[in-house]
């Protein structure tokens, strides 16, 4: 059997690349055979902001946690219960692990599947408290319920021509789209997106795809704001002393937007050049500038266990959210994991038919897997890039 280089969390601020065992069609932590699973040779596996939360020590992830839930790969082995996925298929792997059989899956809520995590509803690859499934920042990975979970690309050669775009289907593109779709973005909408990291840039891309007239992106990082401007976004610099409403009014002529998206999550900072962490900032911001009866999409991650939280309440996910503002303005909120399967096939078609160029918009940047520690460090320092790991040297020459 071949080896399996895998990215592993070794404690706050430290990841390493370890040689682990080639995966089997089983999940020892749950004492389960995975006859319905497939093993994939990983073509691309991205570093995600959610991974970065763990690496910063801002979750309860144990040392030794394998990493990686944004996976694209080629099937090299299938279990005896797999009927439709075949060896050689090139596929996108939704970061949600879902059985396809439970009530939640039947209703399309694949982010909260009831059968893949004994601790809670919902599971993901390589993530703390998400079922014990090994991470996909690796050369090989096990995917359970392969017939249900895998999105097969219809033509392998054509897919490899657009592989960096298609690599975004496992998480950030559907997640950004989910944020905008649930916020009601449609033809002619004015939209505010908090955060110019990869999910925020994916949300901005999605807003244009949905027909938005104006997309405003707010952040504290000028390099990332410049990346947003590169594909037509307006931007607001949150290091300034101006109020968010005033900056929005300067762009739109009014201090409100039709729809707003939180692409930041629980490590949010306040406004101003020297602002510290204020985890409810973005939630309160989007309520403050969203028009009455607006819908707010909240794909940004919030947790129930944050060892680095600024106070006792934040450490357990209890934040000072002005729910009275949202109530008074009749806002609707959508939170939680994006159910990737609701969107990934449609977004795949948009990519294959040149209706969107997500890899360019998020500045996809390929790294060999051995450079994963550097990718995590650079990302943590605010690089305006979406790092794509190349575990098996399949992406040599790939570009945007």
Give a yes or no: residue 252 inside a domain.
yes
Distances (CA, A) of 310 to 50, 263, 313, 314, 318: 19, 20, 8, 6, 11
Give a yes or no: residue 397 inside a domain.
no
Q: How far apart are CA 216 and CA 235, in angstroms?
A: 5
Same domain, 288 and 181: yes
Count of structural domains within the chain? 2
Q: How far apart are CA 98 and CA 102, in angstroms?
A: 9
Same domain, 51 and 141: yes
Same domain, 144 and 249: no
Q: In 146-297, where does DSSP find H-type helix?
A: 146-149, 156-161, 163-166, 172-182, 198-209, 222-229, 244-252, 281-289
The whole-number pLDDT of residue 125 equals 96
**Which domain CATH number covers 364?**
3.90.180.10
Question: Domain boundary residue among 312, 335, 358?
Answer: 335
Question: Domain boundary residue among 319, 335, 351?
Answer: 335
Q: How far apart are CA 157 and CA 146, in angstroms?
A: 22
Give a yes or no: residue 400 inside a domain.
no
Nearest to 297 by CA among 177, 168, 123: 177
Same domain, 180 and 166: no
Sequence-ordered list of residues with C-beta below 8 angstroms from that of 360, at least 6 positions apart, any chain: 231, 400
Question: Domain boundary residue among 335, 360, 378?
Answer: 335
Give a yes or no: residue 374 inside a domain.
yes
Q: Is 235 helix (H, G, I), strand (E, B) or coil?
A: strand
The whole-number pLDDT of residue 400 equals 58
Exposed / middle / buried, residue 335 (Cβ in 10 Å: 0-12, 13-18, 19+): middle
| pTM of structure | 0.96
Give the H or E element holding residue 370: none
Summarised one tens digit per residue, pLDDT across range 112-141 is: 999 999 999 999 999 999 999 999 999 999
Q: Using an 8 Å Cβ cutoff, are 41 and 58 in contact?
A: no
Residues of the chain with pLDDT under 70: 1, 28-30, 397, 399-400
Same domain, 30 and 126: yes
Partners of residue 149 on adjacent β-strands: none
Give a yes or no: residue 362 inside a domain.
yes
Same domain, 97 and 75: yes
Tokens read off for 185 = 């973005």
Q: How far apart are CA 100 and CA 113, in angstroms?
A: 8
Same domain, 182 and 212: yes
Same domain, 135 and 268: no
Same domain, 153 and 195: no
Q: How far apart are CA 85 and CA 152, in angstroms?
A: 8
Give a yes or no: residue 358 inside a domain.
yes
Q: How far apart are CA 42 and CA 25, in angstroms?
A: 16
Same domain, 208 and 288: yes
The whole-number pLDDT of residue 399 equals 61
Give a yes or no: residue 399 inside a domain.
no
**Which domain CATH number covers 228?**
3.40.50.720
Same domain, 58 and 177: no
The whole-number pLDDT of residue 28 equals 67
The boundaries of the domain holding residue 70 are 4-171+339-390
Same domain, 15 and 153: yes
Give a yes or no: residue 395 inside a domain.
no
């Amino acid at each position: 059997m071949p080896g399996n280089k895998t990215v592993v969390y070794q404690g706050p601020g430290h990841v390493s690349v370890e040689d682990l065992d080639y995966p089997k069609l089983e999940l020892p932590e749950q004492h389960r055979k995975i006859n319905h699973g497939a093993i994939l040779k990983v073509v691309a596996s991205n570093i995600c902001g959610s991974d970065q939360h763990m690496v910063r020590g801002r979750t309860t992830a144990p040392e030794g946690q394998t990493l990686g839930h944004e996976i694209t790969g080629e099937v090299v082995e299938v279990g005896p219960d797999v009927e439709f996925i075949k060896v050689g298929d090139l596929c996108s792997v939704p970061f949600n692990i879902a059985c396809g059989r439970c009530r939640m899956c039947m209703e399309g809520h694949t982010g909260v599947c009831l059968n893949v995590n004994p601790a809670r509803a919902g599971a993901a690859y390589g993530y703390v408290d998400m079922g014990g499934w090994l991470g996909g920042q690796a050369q090989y990975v096990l995917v359970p319920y392969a017939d249900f979970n895998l999105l097969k690309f219809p033509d392998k050669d054509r897919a490899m021509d657009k592989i960096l775009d298609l690599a975004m289907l496992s998480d950030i593109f559907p997640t950004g789209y989910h944020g905008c779709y649930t916020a009601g973005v449609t033809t002619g909408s004015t939209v505010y997106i908090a955060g110019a990291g990869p999910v925020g840039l994916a949300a901005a891309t999605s807003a244009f795809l949905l027909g938005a007239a104006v997309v405003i992106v707010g952040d504290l990082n000028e390099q990332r704001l410049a990346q947003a401007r590169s594909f037509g976004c307006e931007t607001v610099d949150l290091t300034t002393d101006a109020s968010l409403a005033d900056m929005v009014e300067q762009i739109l002529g009014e201090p409100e937007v039709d729809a707003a998206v939180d692409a930041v999550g629980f490590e949010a900072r306040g406004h101003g050049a020297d602002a510290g962490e204020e985890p409810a900032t973005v939630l309160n911001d989007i309520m403050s500038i969203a028009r009455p009866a607006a819908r707010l999409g909240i794909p940004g991650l919030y947790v129930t266990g944050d060892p680095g939280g600024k106070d006792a309440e934040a450490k357990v996910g209890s934040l000072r959210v002005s729910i009275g503002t949202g109530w008074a303005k009749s806002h609707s909120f959508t939170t939680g994991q994006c159910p990737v399967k609701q969107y990934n096939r449609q977004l795949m078609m948009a990519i294959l038919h040149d209706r969107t160029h997500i890899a360019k918009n998020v500045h996809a940047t390929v790294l060999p897997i051995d450079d994963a520690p550097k990718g995590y460090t650079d990302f943590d320092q605010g690089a305006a890039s979406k790092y794509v790991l190349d575990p098996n040297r399949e992406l040599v020459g790939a570009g945007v």
